[in-house]
């Protein structure tokens, strides 16, 4: 039997395949983003309902809750939570064993959707805790979770000349001065631009946190500096100085997003760097150091 040359293609590929594939991927990403947002807000609502007996208007005191990551990457509550004063309590102490058990069971049905597929949403709202029985544990910030918009809002229109200096924070602890454009907000969180000295301080703080809590829980900032002793074009011998600012997302290194694990930040025309951008959920602080979400100077 001889092989005959093909006289026509065995099959045809639709001309719009590339556009359709990218549209499908964009839709999948958007769906995961929306799912993550909805489940994070639902987790905050579940804590409220457990502590108030499903009375949304009743007062309650909870600012963070512990979630543990299972073998399938989904999160589930342990019943441990924190009050505004920093006190640590359990649902059992607050509402009794039966009500706590039922509440945790119901909450788990929602937090199960907080997994690898929605990690980009929930992980930035969490602080890594010591492992619990060999499983990764996180402290979910309920205040930031409840403030999250259910739908990804469109980027706000930019107004000319809008940069203002303000104090910003991303973890309820470390505060830095930065320049912020009030028109450039996402869910009320700002995109601060830091000078190099402040970037060095952020780098030191993130590396210390990574050493304490683990690199899988903290994106680290690094400032690489060097110089050139060669004479400048104007004839002066003053050495040139260079700085390269890197952000390393360690949790990406072992997965499909490893090529995005290291980001080299480019300074703006004023030599400032947008550390973390919107993804770190930076928020502005007022004169009493209270969060301003959204920021209204």
| pLDDT for residue 115 | 93
Query: pTM value?
Result: 0.55
Over residues 182-235, the pLDDT tens digits come to: 999 998 899 999 999 899 999 999 999 888 888 877 889 999 988 766 555 555
**Domain boundaries, given as residue ranges, for the chain:** 24-147, 164-292
pLDDT-flagged residues of the chain (< 70): 1-2, 152-161, 228-240, 255, 257
| pLDDT for residue 229 | 62
DSSP-assigned beta bridge partners for residue 246 = 222, 264
The answer to whether 165 touches 192, Cβ cutoff 8 Å, is no
| pLDDT for residue 160 | 47
91 CB-near residues (< 8 Å, 6+ apart): 50, 51, 79, 81, 99, 100, 103, 104
> What does 159-225 look like in DSSP terms, one character per residue?
-TT--EEEEEESSSS-EEEEEE-TT-EETTEE--BB-HHHHHHHHHHHHHHHHHH-TTT--EEEEEE
| pLDDT for residue 15 | 83
User: Residue 127 to residues 68, 211, 230: CA-CA distances in angstroms?
Assistant: 12, 14, 46
Reading the block at residue 188, the tokens are: 């009320």
């Amino acid at each position: 039997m001889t092989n005959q040359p093909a006289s026509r293609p065995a099959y045809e590929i639709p001309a719009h395949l590339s556009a359709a594939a990218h549209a499908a991927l964009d839709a999948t990403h958007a769906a995961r983003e929306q799912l993550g947002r909805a489940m994070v807000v639902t987790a905050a609502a579940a804590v409220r309902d457990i502590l108030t007996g499903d009375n949304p208007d009743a007062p309650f005191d909870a600012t963070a809750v512990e979630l543990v990551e299972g073998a399938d990457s989904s999160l589930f509550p342990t019943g441990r939570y924190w009050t505004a004063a920093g006190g640590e309590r359990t649902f059992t102490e607050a509402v009794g064993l039966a009500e706590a058990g039922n509440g945790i069971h119901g909450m788990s049905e929602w937090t199960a959707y907080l997994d690898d597929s929605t990690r980009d949403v929930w992980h930035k709202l969490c602080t890594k805790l010591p492992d619990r029985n060999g499983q990764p544990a996180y402290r979910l910030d309920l205040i930031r979770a409840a403030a999250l918009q259910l739908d990804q809002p469109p980027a706000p229109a930019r107004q000319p000349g809008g940069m203002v200096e303000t104090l910003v924070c991303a973890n309820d602890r470390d505060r830095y001065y930065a320049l912020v454009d009030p028109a450039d907000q996402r869910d009320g969180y700002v995109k601060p631009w830091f000078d190099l000295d402040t970037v060095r301080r952020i780098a030191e703080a993130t590396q210390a946190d990574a050493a304490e809590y683990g690199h899988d829980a903290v994106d680290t900032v690094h400032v690489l500096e060097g110089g050139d002793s060669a004479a400048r074009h104007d004839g002066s011998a003053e050495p040139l100085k260079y700085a390269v600012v890197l952000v390393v997302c360690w949790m990406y290194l072992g997965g499909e997003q490893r090529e995005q694990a290291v980001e080299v930040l480019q300074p703006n025309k004023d030599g400032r760097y947008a550390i973390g951008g919107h993804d770190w959920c930076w928020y502005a602080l007022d004169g009493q150091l209270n969060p301003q979400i959204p920021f209204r100077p």
